Structure 1
């Protein structure tokens, strides 16, 4: 039975990636997976349930990719590995990234996708607490978490939305990763303020 659930997810993902959330139908998923409509509804609360399950699988994959690198390291290494993990995963899976961006945005207006917002909020709560600890250690600037998060991750997301015509992402990833740290590092920001005042 569990294999059937995974078969449905595996069949649904390329359809969602190709057609988007709105245009994909349960009939599309049924046809691609070979599952009956009843079987699909047995495992999932319709199309939103399938999309949420796929969202959670992707988040787990990205988290696994960065978690080992983030354990017991400095704030600089943790920030850089998180941004690098996102960029490397998303540039290797661009269509998938764009589908998940569609879900993330749609979740703010579609109550059926509310669990995605709950997942995002939980992730931000954990990250905000971690960031507060780094502020207390004097490692990063004491700025509100939404601002810090936007400074660190915003350029990465913006690049990922616009990089469709770029084949080699290596240099861009290095620049974005370095700037993610510099945007919140207390030492880097202090140095920048000194340079501006001279």
Structure 2
């Protein structure tokens, strides 16, 4: 193999490996700008600087592009949350604070927060997207948080609350925050301020959720 060929090989392999992300970046920009329905695969290919056939090589449909965006942006956050919750022992308020603050930090990235915004806009029109998001995110994370709440109640860290309903109370303000901005155009001055929202939410949540010290069931953990 010539020296030129040796130099070109790894470069082109790196380029090929980067193409799915280039396609997803272009798709996300256009879905936000024009909406999912109005965006054509031709538009995405042009924005990415690729042929239409190359786009289809990685993503066989526009719906597959939506799923790819969710998997790229949201699944790593879900996996991090599950890793923090799994087998945790002790005061659940500690790990809940960590998970919510991690969520706020991750979605402060404009490229990441664009995907939840897109889900809010398109999920009602594309039920398969909602099903995929439920199966790969909600059906994994929500039971883990519910189990954490149940254990916290049993050990006396938390009041006697319904774990399933409490999960909704924990996640509800974050979802409503997005909905108010994306559906109704009601956004706090200066942006979403997810970090401030989470800090405010935790203060209100824990003042109401925490059990009195006398209820704590002490253990070696």
Give the TM-score of the pair, scaled to structure 1. 0.74
The structure with the largest helix share of the pair is: 1
Distance 1:112 1:152, change over 3 A: closer
> Which residue of 1 is the match for residue 74 of structure 2?
59
- Equivalent residues, number: 187
Q: d(CA) in 1 for partners of 2:108 and 2:47?
A: 26
Query: Which of 88, 95, 112 matches 1:78?
Result: 95
Q: What root-mean-square deviation, in Å, do the aligned CA atoms of Structure 1 and Structure 2 show?
A: 3.2
How far off is 1:64 after superposition? 7.2
Question: Structure 2: 5+ residue runs without aligned partners?
Answer: 1-15, 216-221
> Which residue of 1 is the match for residue 207 of structure 2?
182
Distance 1:83 1:20, change over 3 A: farther
Matches within 5 A, 1:57-136: 57-63=72-78, 74-90=91-107, 93=110, 95-103=114-122, 105-106=123-124, 110-111=127-128, 114-119=131-136, 120-136=138-154
Q: Which has the larger radius of gyration?
A: 2
Contact in 1 for aligned 2:26/2:44 (Cα 8 Å): yes
Q: d(CA) in 2 for partners of 1:158 and 1:138?
A: 29
Distance 1:51 1:147, change over 3 A: same
Cα distance per residue 1:28-57 (max 9 Å; x no partner): 211111232222222223111111111122
Question: Structure 1: 5+ residue runs without aligned partners?
Answer: 191-198
SS in 2 for 1:28: helix
Contact in 2 for aligned 1:8/1:29 (Cα 8 Å): yes
SS in 2 for 1:21: coil
Give the TM-score of the pair, scaled to structure 2. 0.67
Q: d(CA) in 2 for partners of 1:147 and 1:55?
A: 26
How far off is 1:79 after superposition? 1.4
Q: d(CA) in 2 for partners of 1:135 and 1:33?
A: 51
> Which residue of 2 is the match for residue 158 of structure 1?
176
> Which residue of 2 is the match for residue 196 of structure 1?
none
Distance 1:185 1:33, change over 3 A: same
Query: Which of 15, 19, 32 matches 1:4?
Result: 19
